[in-house]
Amino acid sequence: MRNQTVETQEITPSALSGRSFKEYCELFGYNAKTGKDLAGKKILDVGIGNSTFARYVNHHFQGAEVIGIDPRKIERDLSGFATVSEETELQYPQAQLIQGDSRKLPFKDAVFDEVISSNFKQYVLYKDVLIGIIKEMARVCKKGGKIRVTPSLLSGHNQIAKGELLEILGKDKFEIDEIEIPRTEYIDRTVIITKLQE
């Protein structure tokens, strides 16, 4: 295991393209038509980039609040970013954005119903740093809440075996599932970690 000293190069900047509400719902297993699984929930988007998911959810679903955290300073108008999938979603007010480090999330324990992250895993250079980030996500997630990460933690770069992940988080405290999203030439996978107890 390498030295635990935090290095600035442990996490490289994430992608600059922005996924839409519909894309996020498909990847994370949410119901995009009714939003019944989003209404009233407090959601943290780790590595939000310029996704418009938070804007859309905060505007359309009663009591829902999505907060985004990213190591980069995200301008409210998304200046400096590349593409946005659904430009019409830019009409909604921006969510609360925090410039911060996912290795030490600036929130109290058990405050979010859902913690989501899209495409951050491939930008984390070391597996032990990734594990630390997952532990932080678990810390801020409420009992009964879910942590949804795509691409899945169980395959690809920096993969963590399901048994190993349960050992790290606590076998009796978490349940781990994986969903598959078929594409034309490949399959996207998302891991869903349910927090059973504190």
Label residue 5 by pLDDT band (50, 70, 90): very low
Compute φ and ψ for 182, nearest 5 degrees: -65, 135
pLDDT of 13 above 90: no
What is the spatial distance between Cα 117 and Cα 43, in angstroms, rounded to a whole number?
11
For the chain, domain boundaries = 17-195
pLDDT digits (tens, 9 = 90+) for 168-190: 999 999 999 999 988 888 888 99
Residue 195 tokens, joined: 């927090």
pLDDT of residue 20: 81
Band of pLDDT at residue 77, cut at 50, 70 and 90: low
Beta strands, E only, 38-184: 42-46, 65-70, 96-99, 112-118, 141-150, 174-182
- Return d(Cα 135, Cα 127) in angstroms, integer: 12
- Output 157 or 12, whichever has higher pLDDT: 157
pLDDT tens sequence across 118-161: 887 777 878 899 999 999 999 999 999 999 999 888 888 788 99
Mean pLDDT score, 70-92: 60
Cβ-count burial of 85 within 10 angstroms (0-12 exposed, 13-18 middle, 19+ buried)?
Answer: middle
Q: What is the pTM of this model?
A: 0.85
Q: With contact defined as beta carbons under 8 Å apart, do 155 and 189 qualify? A: yes
Alpha carbons 116 and 136: distance in angstroms, whole number:
12
Distance from C-alpha of 54 to C-alpha of 159, rounded to nearest angstrom: 27
What is the helix (H) or strand (E) element at residue 193, kind and residue range?
strand 187-195
Q: Which fold has domain 17-195?
A: Rossmann fold (3.40.50)
